Amino acid sequence: MSLLDSFMARATLAGLGVMLAAAPLGCFVVWRRMAYFGDATAHAAILGVALALGFEISIFVGVLAVALAMAVTVSTLSGRGYGMDTLLGVLSHSALAFGLVAVSFLQGVRVDLMAYLFGDILAVGRMDLAIIWGGALLVLALVAWRWSALLVSTLNPDLAHASGIDPRREQLVLTIALAVVVAVAIKVVGVILIASLLIIPPAAARPLVRTPEAMALVAAAIGVASVIGGLQGALIFDTPAGPSIVCVAALIFLLASIGDGLRNALGKTGA
């Protein structure tokens, strides 16, 4: 019997693949305060699902295409008279609404909307695993290749210009990587919870570390712990797997925040 014959093994591998890609990318989302951008890209994924089903193409391809289109649209329209939060709010909810309406027009196609909205990690198959890990390795390679340039353009755009780095180009690299993560994560946690995987592990890691590289590594470790703990919790308490993973990540964030608060309070008392 192969390891991949176990649905729990496939679910665990799928969750680990998504988390390993989402953690370092999520650090940039947190540093750049792009949480709403991640949410908007994820919401657009439902429109990608509808188009993929309508044209009978791969769900991954449909979601990736729409996520990339959303990223390019936001980059193009930003700075043209609209506040970024307003622009993302309009595009995010419009794409989600159009996607849900488009799904209702599909004839003869059984669509499990709950699986796409909240994920169905326990139903991950071998082909899904190949897509998830292929996308995750692509994102990791892209982030590792552009790490220094992304970091400089994130922390100090003026220094980036002086160093010959184009911040807008690095922003495009980041949005492409984000679109890939959304496309591979939809099967794991669904469009509603994808942004939480990008934000919560890095946010939990932030008070525990002192360097950007350490934050990416600790965020990945927290993500792995969230996947394993969430799946075990779902198995024991018979709860939805995707939301359970996010709940464990949120609990780790809470513990890290409490620990950081206590450390600061003790430091002030000692001083």
Provide the phi-psi class of 263: left if phi over 0, else alpha when psi is between -120 and 50, else beta.
alpha
CA dihedral 56, 175, 149, 196 (to 10 degrees): -110
**To 5 degrees, how large is the angle CA 235–CA 237–CA 239?**
80
pLDDT value at position 1?
A: 54
**pLDDT, tens only, 37-52:** 778 888 888 889 988 9
Query: Maximum Cα–Cα distance for the chain, whole Å?
Result: 70
Percent of the chain residues topping a pLDDT of 70 = 96
CA 33, CA 105: separation in Å to the nearest integer?
Answer: 36
Q: Mean pLDDT highest for which of 68-72, 170-174, 225-229?
A: 225-229
Residues in the chain: 271
Q: Please give the single-letter amino acid code of residue 154.
A: T
**Sequence spans of domains, the chain:** 3-192
Give 3-192's CATH code, choosing from 3.40.50.150, 2.40.160.40, 1.10.3470.10, 2.40.10.120. 1.10.3470.10
The answer on pLDDT for 212 being more than 80 is yes
Provide the phi-psi class of 5: left if phi over 0, else alpha when psi is between -120 and 50, else beta.
alpha
**pLDDT, tens only, 170-194:** 988 888 898 899 899 988 898 888 9
Cα 263 to chain centroid distance, Å, stands at: 30
The DSSP H or E segment spanning 109 is: none
Percent of the chain residues topping a pLDDT of 90 = 47
Contact 10, 125 (CB under 8 A): yes
34 Cβ neighbours under 8 A, 6+ residues apart: 28, 174
Contact 219, 20 (CB under 8 A): no
User: Tokens 């370092």 belong to which residue?
Assistant: 24
The answer on pLDDT for 107 being more than 60 is yes
Contact 170, 149 (CB under 8 A): yes
**Average of per-residue pLDDT values in the chain:** 88
Q: What are the start-end ranges of the H helices in the chain?
A: 7-31, 35-55, 59-77, 84-104, 113-118, 126-155, 157-162, 167-205, 212-237, 241-270
Contact 124, 188 (CB under 8 A): yes
Q: pLDDT-based confidence at 127, cuts 50/70/90? A: very high
State the pTM of this model.
0.90
CA 159, CA 149: separation in Å to the nearest integer?
Answer: 10
